[in-house]
Amino acid sequence: MGTLACGKVHIMEYVISVLLSGISVGGQYALIAIGYTLVYGILRLINFAHGDVFMVAGLLGIYLTATLPIPVSLPLVIVFTVLLGFTIERAAYKPLREAPRMSVMISAIGVSYLLQNTATYVTGGQPMTYPTIPFLSDTVNVAGTQTKWVVIITPFLVLILVTFLTMLINRTKVGMAMRAVSKDFETSRLMGIRINSVISVTFIIGSALAAVGSTLFFTNYPAITPMAGAMPGLKAFVAAVFGGIGSIPGAVIGAFIIGICETIIKGLPSNWDVSVFSDAFTFALLIVILAFKPQGLFGEAAADKV
Amino acid sequence: MGEQAVKNALHIENVTMQFGGVVSVNNLTLDVPEHKIIALIGPNGAGKTTAFNCITGVYQPTNGLIEFMGKPMVRNFPKGKILKNYLGENAGKYKDLPVIAPTPDEITFLGIARTFQNIRLWKSMTVFENVLTAKHMRAKQNVFSATFRGNLSEEKRMREETMALLSEQGLDEYKDELATSLPYGLQRRLEIARALATDPKLLLLDEPAAGMNPQETLELADFVRTIREKYDLTVFLIEHHMDLVMNISDYIYVIDFGSEIARGLPQEIQSNEKVIEAYLGVSDEK
Amino acid sequence: MTTTKKNNLPTILVIAGLLIFVIILENIRSVFPFLPQIFDPMSPLFTVLKKAAVYSLVAVSMNLLNGFTGLFSLGQAGFMLLGAYTYAILTVPAELKDQVYYLFGGCAFQFSFVDFFKGIFGATGVPGAISMVLGCLIALILAGCVAGFFAFLIGFPVLRLKSDYLAIATLGFAEILRAIFQWQRLGPITNGANMIKGFPTFSSFNITDGSGRVVLQLSTFVPFLITTVCVVIIVLLINSSYGRAFKSIRDDEIASEAMGIKLFSHKMLSFVISSFFAGVGGGLFAMYVANAQAKAFTSTMTYEILLIVVIGGIGSVSGSIIATFLYVACSEWWLRFLDSEQYIGGFKVPLLRNGFRMVVFSVVIMIIVLFFSKGIMGSREIDLNSLFVKKDKKKGQK
């Protein structure tokens, strides 16, 4: 508690900096969480590999910016990540469409394992430093707190992307098909909706958002290791469950809440020794949610048929 | 029927099952006297299986009382938000009595066994194991005695009884085959054998003749009568197959859109205008 | 004809023979020193055997839950962690505690089972050995009990969840446990994020003479023995009335409930028993690596065990065991060469460098998951009895 007692000015600064970085981390989780929530909504699959796709996007960012100018390399990161997401779906999930749900989940875990091990092989297991991206990494002074531009930009970028995505889902034909498939997989198939293309679109959107998220996340992060995607991935999934799986606004709000809570825990005085719980907190939240309100904040309660 | 003289195995009173704004079973009241074969019939979607699910604890009825062997087994009344949207009748009739909501396994333990409309055998198990596993509920054992084989005599008894049940059903030659590899008619028989393995007093059969050919249906009728005698059972069945229903039922209840439209002896039902309209009317119009 | 009297003697003989074979194998080079290096107790062969013995137990315990009861749980690493710490904390000798817990000014918990029994039986010679064996055994059983007890507590909120939510919730619990055990405030008990060392390991079971020279190697035999006993118990459970009830739940919950099987209590039973053995497995794992440290028990460990179970065949105990030995042998020994540069003649084999082994491994796993989803054994078992019985029958027919 000692560190807090340094006067009002410091407390204000402290609160602002925690809030700022909390919102920013939350925004980055939100971009990953949308990928989870869309895929779960349609396939009822926890795509364990999604966090690792996010990690690979980070690595792609490192390798591509090293050889190409940034205006070319960043769009290329998105393109390659989308290709990866699409390929994973086609190669590892599509063949198991008729298999039990457990098999698909095991396949997802297998893909996650493969991506992590390949990343270890390619990087030699060394932590890789994310390149400094002009502007994003520049510092800015907000209400007396030094921070990076990326922190300021993230929430706005998230809001723009989410608005765009919501319009896509509510106004376009593809969006309508996505909503139909998530309501009833079998009937949609019978109604002539091309299930496989809808699923591919879902994975493409999810991967593209994860790629954007990776640029924002890793700019503010010291290094990328092959395991760097696992934890943000799981947290983003929890955010999706928290908000109500299948609901995009739910996933975004859930992600912001988790991001802020996590930064608060990390920012607590170091002599409390509670920073080890910043990850565990998320899971505790998950279990509380699942026990008391399994449909999440904005999800619909599903009725079971016998 | 002399209603006062006969003891009821099952007594259903004002049972209503409402899902959202849909009333699947509406104020159903009926009796299943001991040692009788009673049928519940009605067109597709009339709410027959829902009624079964209320009796077996799969659903908790929104309102009503179900008594088994003279004792209240299930009781509920609509309250709060559900009461506000309640479309059924007798909303306040049970509100001063405690709610009773047993789980399906507790109801089975009381002595009600069922079969399923869409056969639900345990697919990785053999015919023998399917019946043997249904004996688990009443076995005198705990996990330690079972693991360390301290229950040998109990296990032996279960196996012998299982074998006896299978022989009686003519299933003994298939005992080591996977349950799901049997022909359809035999799978239905196996489901009945499995239900009998739980030592029931009341047997609920959900469309036992579905998918059977006329010959098999005829055999089934005899078979249901035989097991009723042998195990001193009461049988309550849902059926589409009119021949079978008219052949074996002592008394018939007819429902449509969740509500009772007729009750009576088979010959009375056969000539009942309302039933013909609801049930057979569709085919007349063709 | 209803119950053919089963003769289990062949199975017992095969298992006993296997255990004796392990003892012979690890001591053979001390009798015949001219044998190749591979028979040296320090060779990769024995590392693989020990690790595989430990992992088989964990894989079988996971199969009990995921394969036989159909509950997709990913909490195995968490329960192993509980077992490892329980074992370690209960067996570090009192005289080593100050040294191990030096960052926290000694351990808050001075008790050690090994010391306790040494106080009763004596500290040296045969009584000392008995004390250590007894101490370790009780600590291992308690390791299982602690894991089982936590499973019991966790089970209430978690076991009511559907398949994938159950998976993520159990995974979450494992992560929470990992954080708690790394918490500095619990340092006097858990040694914070540092490892606990100094407790009896597998090599403590080697029999030495007065000068400390090993007379009889038992360090591979011990994990084999413990795993065998545990697996036999699990197999007995699976083949019992309760095992059938578990399988029925896996096949069709609704039918099971309608046949009077109490869903929740049977799921709980399977969860607690599986966690008990995962806890014992965790204790064995601590003995194998000679330390207990929370950061080893990550979700990656759970995934690894899950993949072993899948490779062996979900719902097959013998499959899990075979898969464990293959998996461990490949990752620790046979495929090691993939991780370093190799030359065939003057030609440098491409791609080979650190990390390649795991890439090959994950590709193989994906192939199995996608194209051979039944794994090695499917849901079949190797019946040790029938190896002999069938032959007898044929003889009889002739």
- Report the percent of chain B where pLDDT is more than 70: 95
Q: Which pLDDT score, from 0 to 100, does residue C394 have?
A: 39
Secondary structure class of B183 (helix, strand, coil): coil
| Residue A250 buriedness (CB in 10 A; 0-12 / 13-18 / 19+) | buried
Asked if A113's CB is within 8 angstroms of C303's CB, the reply is yes
- Does position B101 have pLDDT exceeding 70, yes or no? yes
* HSE of C391, CA atoms in CB hemisphere, 13 A: 5
B261 in contact with chain C, both atoms CB, cutoff 8 A: no
Secondary structure class of B142 (helix, strand, coil): coil
Secondary structure class of A222 (helix, strand, coil): coil
Q: Which pLDDT score, from 0 to 100, does residue A278 have?
A: 84
Q: List Cβ neighbours of B122 (8 Å cut-off, separation of 6 or more).
A: B129, B130, B133, B179, C247, C248, C251, C252, C255, C256
Bridge partners, residue B66, by sequence: B12, B74
pLDDT in tens, A61-105: 999 999 999 889 999 999 999 999 999 999 999 999 888 888 899
Interface of B with C in 221-250 (CB under 8 A): none
Q: Which pLDDT score, from 0 to 100, does residue C316 have?
A: 93
The confidence band for A302, taking pLDDT boundaries of 50, 70 and 90, is low
Secondary structure class of B240 (helix, strand, coil): coil
The confidence band for A4, taking pLDDT boundaries of 50, 70 and 90, is very low
* HSE of C49, CA atoms in CB hemisphere, 13 A: 25
Give the tokens for residue A190: 């019978």
Q: How far apart are CA C271 and CA C154, in angstroms?
A: 10
Query: Would you mind telling me the total number of residues written for chain A in this entry?
Result: 306
Question: What pTM did the predictor assign?
Answer: 0.92
Give the tokens for residue C70: 């159909």
Q: List Cβ neighbours of A287 (8 Å cut-off, separation of 6 or more).
A: C157, C158, C169, C172, C173
Torsion of CA C8, C11, C15, C16, to 10 degrees: 50
Gap between the terminal Cα atoms of chain B:
37
* Domain boundaries, given as residue ranges, for chain B: 1-110+200-286, 112-199
Give the tokens for residue A65: 């910016």
C356 in contact with chain A, both atoms CB, cutoff 8 A: yes
Sign of CA dihedral B169, B175, B178, B182: negative
- Whether residue B136 contacts residue B122, with contact meaning beta carbons closer than 8 Å, is answered with no
Beta strands A139-142 and A145-148, pairing class: antiparallel
Would you list which residues of chain B are within 8 Å, Cβ to Cβ, of chain A? 19, 53, 58-59
Beta strands B37-41 and B22-33, pairing class: unpaired
Q: Which chains touch A (3 or more CB pairs under 8 A)?
A: B, C
Overall fold of domain B112-199: Rossmann fold (3.40.50)
pLDDT in tens, A174-229: 889 998 888 888 888 888 888 899 999 999 999 999 999 999 999 888 789 998 99
Gap between the terminal Cα atoms of chain A:
55
- Whether residue C170 contacts residue C75, with contact meaning beta carbons closer than 8 Å, is answered with yes
Supply the angle between the helices A230-243 and A50-67 in degrees, to the nearest 10: 130
Same CATH fold assignment for domains B1-110+200-286 and B112-199:
yes
Size of interface A-C (CB pairs under 8 A): 130
Q: Which pLDDT score, from 0 to 100, does residue C388 have?
A: 61
Bridge partners, residue C395, by sequence: none
Secondary structure class of C72 (helix, strand, coil): coil
pLDDT in tens, C180-239: 999 888 888 888 888 999 999 998 998 888 787 888 889 999 999 999 999 999 999 999
Q: List Cβ neighbours of A271 (8 Å cut-off, separation of 6 or more).
A: A2, A3
Q: Which pLDDT score, from 0 to 100, does residue B5 have?
A: 58
Q: How far apart are CA B229 and CA B222, in angstroms?
A: 11
Q: How far apart are CA A178 and CA A176, in angstroms?
A: 5
Mean pLDDT value across residues A287-298: 83
Q: List Cβ neighbours of B45 (8 Å cut-off, separation of 6 or more).
A: none
- Whether residue C166 contacts residue A300, with contact meaning beta carbons closer than 8 Å, is answered with no
pLDDT in tens, C85-118: 999 999 998 888 888 888 888 778 788 888 888 8
Query: Which of the two residues, B45 and B265, has the higher pLDDT score?
Result: B265
Give the tokens for residue B100: 């009773």
Q: Which pLDDT score, from 0 to 100, does residue A9 have?
A: 63
Asked if B125's CB is within 8 angstroms of C236's CB, the reply is no
Please give the radius of gyration of chain A, using alpha carbons only, rounded to the nearest integer.
Answer: 20
Mean pLDDT value across residues C246-254: 95
- Does position C396 have pLDDT exceeding 80, yes or no? no
Give the tokens for residue C221: 């035999």
C366 vs A110, A274, A279: nearest CB: A110
Beta strands B234-238 and B37-41, pairing class: parallel
C359 vs A112, A118, A283: nearest CB: A118
Residue found under tokens 């994020």? C193
The candidate with the shortest Cα–Cα distance to A243, out of A252, A233, A232, A230, is A252
Asked if C240's CB is within 8 angstroms of B195's CB, the reply is no
Beta strands B202-206 and B112-114, pairing class: parallel
Query: Which of the two residues, C64 and C383, has the higher pLDDT score?
Result: C64
The confidence band for B90, taking pLDDT boundaries of 50, 70 and 90, is confident
Q: Which pLDDT score, from 0 to 100, does residue C392 have?
A: 46
Query: Mind telling me how many Å the CA of B77 is from chain C's nearest CA?
Result: 24
pLDDT in tens, C153-178: 999 989 988 778 899 899 999 999 99
Query: Which of the two residues, B212 and C22, has the higher pLDDT score?
Result: C22
Residues of B within 8 A of C252 (CB-CB) are 120-123
Asked if C359's CB is within 8 angstroms of A114's CB, the reply is yes
Q: How far is CA C216 from CA A14, C114, C208, C221, C223, in A?
A: 64, 21, 7, 11, 15
- Does position A306 have pLDDT exceeding 50, yes or no? no
**In Å, how far from its chain's centre is CA A11?**
30
Mean pLDDT value across residues C365-394: 76
Query: ipTM of the assembly?
Result: 0.91
Q: Which pLDDT score, from 0 to 100, does residue A28 have?
A: 92
The candidate with the shortest Cα–Cα distance to C71, out of C183, C175, C179, C151, is C151
Interface of A with C in 55-114 (CB under 8 A): 91-92, 95-96, 99, 101-103, 105-107, 109-114
Q: Which pLDDT score, from 0 to 100, does residue A301 have?
A: 56
- Does position C40 have pLDDT exceeding 90, yes or no? no
Residues of A within 8 A of C363 (CB-CB) are 114
Q: How far apart are CA B275 and CA B261, in angstroms?
A: 7
Residue type, C7: N
Overall fold of domain B1-110+200-286: Rossmann fold (3.40.50)
Gap between the terminal Cα atoms of chain C:
22
Bridge partners, residue A177, by sequence: none
Asked if A303's CB is within 8 angstroms of B53's CB, the reply is no
Interface of C with B in 241-260 (CB under 8 A): 241-242, 244-245, 247-248, 250-252, 254-260
Give the tokens for residue C104: 């926290």
Please give the radius of gyration of chain C, using alpha carbons only, rounded to the nearest integer.
Answer: 22
Q: Which pLDDT score, from 0 to 100, does residue B219 have?
A: 87
Q: How far apart are CA B31 and CA B38, in angstroms?
A: 9
Bridge partners, residue C161, by sequence: none
Q: List Cβ neighbours of C191 (8 Å cut-off, separation of 6 or more).
A: C100, C101, C103, C104, C107
Q: How far is CA A244 from CA A22, A31, A79, C52, C372, in A?
A: 21, 15, 29, 41, 35
Beta strands B202-206 and B234-238, pairing class: parallel
Q: List, in sequence order, the alpha helices (H) in chain C.
A: 9-31, 44-63, 76-91, 94-100, 113-121, 125-158, 163-182, 187-190, 221-238, 241-251, 253-258, 263-289, 299-312, 317-329, 356-371, 384-397
Q: Which pLDDT score, from 0 to 100, does residue B218 have?
A: 87
Secondary structure class of C207 (helix, strand, coil): strand
A264 in contact with chain C, both atoms CB, cutoff 8 A: no
Q: Which pLDDT score, from 0 to 100, does residue C4 have?
A: 45
- Other CB atoms within 10 A of residue A188 CB: 20
**Least confident among B152-161, C149-158, C368-377:** C368-377
CATH of A2-289, picked from 1.10.3470, 1.20.81, 1.20.58, 2.60.40, is 1.10.3470
* Domain boundaries, given as residue ranges, for chain A: 2-289
